[in-house]
């Protein structure tokens, strides 16, 4: 059965998604039916984009959005919030 956008369980925003635990959480939530927002600092851009490609190719129908932000910088957090709303 192919997953479609309409059967999404919701949207999960994962910070630190470019490696390690953040990456594992993103992949697992996508496998569990969530659309994914991947966020990490700009120096991890290539990692995050690779994870986005992996999720969209492995979990057909899952939507993935890459958001480069440093959550220790308030302006980055505010920009991310504005983008998501």
12 forms beta bridges with 36
- Each domain of the chain, given as residue ranges in start order, spans 5-84
What kind of architecture, by CATH, is found in domain 5-84? 3-Layer(aba) Sandwich (3.40)
- pLDDT over 90 percentage in the chain: 80
- CA torsion angle for 41, 46, 51, 55 (degrees, to 10)? 120
**Model pLDDT, residue 6:** 55
What 8-state DSSP symbol labels residue 73? S
What's the pLDDT score for residue 66? 96
Whether the predicted model's global pTM rises above the 0.75 cut: yes
| DSSP string covering 28-56 | HHHHTT-EEEEEE-GGGHHHHHHHHHHHH
- pLDDT tens column, 17-37: 999 999 999 999 999 999 999
Mean pLDDT of the chain: 91
């Amino acid at each position: 059965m192919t997953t479609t956008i309409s059967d999404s369980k919701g949207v999960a925003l994962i910070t630190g998604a470019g490696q390690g635990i953040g990456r594992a959480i993103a992949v697992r939530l996508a496998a569990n039916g969530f659309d994914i927002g991947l966020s990490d600092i700009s120096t991890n851009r290539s990692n995050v984009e690779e994870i986005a490609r992996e999720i969209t190719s492995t979990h057909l129908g899952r939507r993935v959005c890459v958001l480069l932000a440093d959550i220790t910088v308030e302006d980055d957090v505010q920009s991310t919030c504005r983008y998501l709303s």
